Structures are given as C-alpha cells and as structure tokens.
Amino acid sequence: MTRQLGLVYDPRFLEHDQPFHPENAQRLKAIIGGLEEAGIWDKTVNIKTTPIAEGFLFRIHKPHYVDSIRKFAGSGGGMLDINTYLNSQSYQVALLAAGGAVQAAEAVLSGKVEQAFALVRPPGHHAHPSRAGGFCLFNNIALAAEHAIHNLGLERVLVVDFDVHHGDGTQAIFYSRKDVLYFSTHQYPLFPGTGHWKEIGEGPGEGFTINVPLPAGLGYEAYPRVFAEILFPAANRYRPELILVSAGYDAHWRDPLAGMRLSTKGFARLTRMLLDLAEEHCSGKMVLVLEGGYDLPALSASVAATCAVILGEDPQDSLGQSAETPYPLDDLLSKIKEIHRLA
C-alpha cells in the first residue's frame, strides 16, 4: 500500500551547529543525502515549517526559561550545561524545530498526509518546562502533543520514545496527565538516569507513563518483544487517537554514545509495528519527530529505512547486524506488566 508521507525539513535547521559536538548539523545533511540517494525524498510531501508562536510555547515551557534561552543566544551563546550548546541562531532554530513538529502533527490530523516525519534539530525529549538538557532546548514532541490536545481537541495521544536515552523532559511534562500516554524504551543505566520501571506517573497521570529500562547489548530480538508484550496491550487499552514517536536512532549498534544493538533492519521492524498499531487505532495517523542518533551512516540509513517502510517499500540495510547479548527479559517484563496491570 502506498502512503502519503509528509516531511518537515528546513535548511535553517543547520544553523544551530557546533562542529565536533555529536549533535551537529552534519546529522541532518547525512539524513537528507540518504533520502535523496535512496530515491525517497522525491516521493514525499514537503510540509512548510514556520516558527512556533511564543505564546503556545508557554503552554509547555516557563516564560522565564524561554526568555533565558532567547537572551543567551542573543548574546552569542555558549554551553548551557556540560552537554548542551547554543549559538547566536539557536533560539530561532529551536522555535522553528518546535514549529516543525507541531506542523507535522497538523498535517496528519488535517488529513493532508497519513504519516509525517519531522526532521528537526535541535532535538527535544530532554527539554523540561524550565530547563534544557541533553542537547535539547524546547520539547518538540511535547509541543506537538499539546497542539493535538489543546488546539485540535484530541483526548488521548500516545508518545512512543525509542531513542536510546530516556525522554526525561517529555515524562516530566506529562507525568500527572492522562491525555498523553508516554512509553519509553531506553538503555538503563545511562544519561539522564531516569526511566526506572517504577516511574509510572502520578495523580491523574498514574499509569500513563510506561518505562522499559533495558540493559546494554539488546537489539533485534528484544525490542519487538517489548513492543508486543508491553506497548501493544497498553495501546489497546488506551485507544490512542494519534501516535507520536520520539524517533532517536542512537540504539543502533554503531552509535558512539550508547551500547544497544539495534540494526537498520531493526528500526525498520519497529516502524512496521508502530504503523500496524496506528492503523489499528487511529487510521494510521503517526508523526515521527527526530531525536538522537550520532553515527552518521547508521542515522541516515535508519531514517531512510523508516521512511521506506512507511512508503511500502523494502528497507535497505548495507550496514548489517551486530550480535546482541542474550538477556532474560522475562523477569523485567513481568514486573512491568504487573505494575501496569497488563495481561
């Protein structure tokens, strides 16, 4: 089946850059180059990107924090913390990245396209209401979810975060809300340190945060099993009206910042499963938002494979697999099923 895939990309995303930092502009150049080379770029629909309105940004981020980012960039930038940089353009680029995620959700929910991929930088899932972190300034995916809920009237949005790091910002933003079900797989322990399976949300949000912390070394066998045994039953119970995906590709076996063993084919398989889930619950409505991924060949091949699967084509994988470390998942998965009362 051929689908309409919308892509958000704007060359201004390259202006937030610090050469030799892992989260640099070469990442997006590699992705776009890979999509062109695979013949995918021309089969997609371009979604025009405009900066997010500051007023809407304040629904997720505190005004004093937004102000501090604007001023810090205005003074030329520098390091905000040991991981996160700003240059003079970063505030404007971050507004544009957040706008891109929102407009991708808008394009899918208005029926312009069935799926969309927001190829944005800087990434977002470590950004909290009032602090940056882990290369992230504004939480792009949280703003897309908030747009779907507050502006378009949705009541249940599922966020699936397969970036190798826990999306601590996204979790914090929605921790006491039930209109967003946050599901994350991540290497654990690893930066940022959060994402224990006992973190399940609080108050009205209790049960609407699902964390699957995984030891390093897992890949093609483990991830689909986690999706099948935890994500699928949770989604069946939640009945999402939209699926947003924090698509980070740093769980690839080649990634320099982590130790997971997913292959390009593994990401293609996860994409297939997420599409199935979206088709079952919400007429295929799915929006991916780029997060991490720091090995350029792996990142570019995996994004291309993701898009190929959505377009109904065979994903290519010239990088191959790396053996995963056998690990008995039964105990962890049964604890998660028990705490979330999943059959």
Q: Which residues bind Zn ion (CB under 5 A)?
A: 163, 165, 248, 250, 292
Of the candidates 230, 240, 179, 237, the residue with the CA atom closest to the CA atom of residue 204: 179
Q: How far is the CB of 284 from Zn ion (least distance, A)?
A: 26
Q: Which is closer to Zn ion, CB of 160 or CB of 282?
A: 160
Q: Is 242 exposed, middle or buried (0-12, 13-18, 19+ CB in 10 A)?
A: buried
Buried residues in 277-292 as b, exposed as e (16+ CB within 10 A): bbeebbebbbbbbbbb
Q: How far is the CB of 74 from Zn ion (least distance, A)?
A: 28
Q: Which is closer to Zn ion, CB of 40 or CB of 247?
A: 247
Helix 63-74 to helix 90-109 angle (10° resolution) is 130
Q: Which is closer to Zn ion, CB of 14 or CB of 257?
A: 257
Of the candidates 167, 57, 169, the residue with the CA atom closest to the CA atom of residue 102: 57
Q: Which is closer to Zn ion, CB of 238 or CB of 249?
A: 249
Instruction: Report yes or no: 85 and 18 within 8 Å, Cβ to Cβ.
Output: yes
Ranked by CB distance to Zn ion, the top (closest) residue is 292
Catalytic residue, from 125, 126, 147, 340: name it.
Answer: 126
Backbone angles phi, psi at 157, to 5 degrees: -115, 130
For the chain, the C-alpha Rg in angstroms (whole number) is: 18
Q: How far is the CB of 159 from Zn ion (least distance, A)?
A: 15
Q: What is the DSSP string of 93-111?
A: HHHHHHHHHHHHHHHHHTT
Beta bridge partners of 262: 252
Q: How far is the CB of 258 from Zn ion (least distance, A)?
A: 7
Q: How far is the CB of 194 from Zn ion (least distance, A)?
A: 13
Of the candidates 85, 33, 21, the residue with the CA atom closest to the CA atom of residue 299: 33
Instruction: Report yes or no: 141 and 288 within 8 Å, Cβ to Cβ.
Output: no
Q: How far is the CB of 341 from Zn ion (least distance, A)?
A: 29
Q: Which is closer to Zn ion, CB of 10 or CB of 250?
A: 250
Q: Which is closer to Zn ion, CB of 165 or CB of 285?
A: 165
Would residue 126 show up in a list of annotated catalytic residues for this protein? yes
* Residues that are catalytic: 126
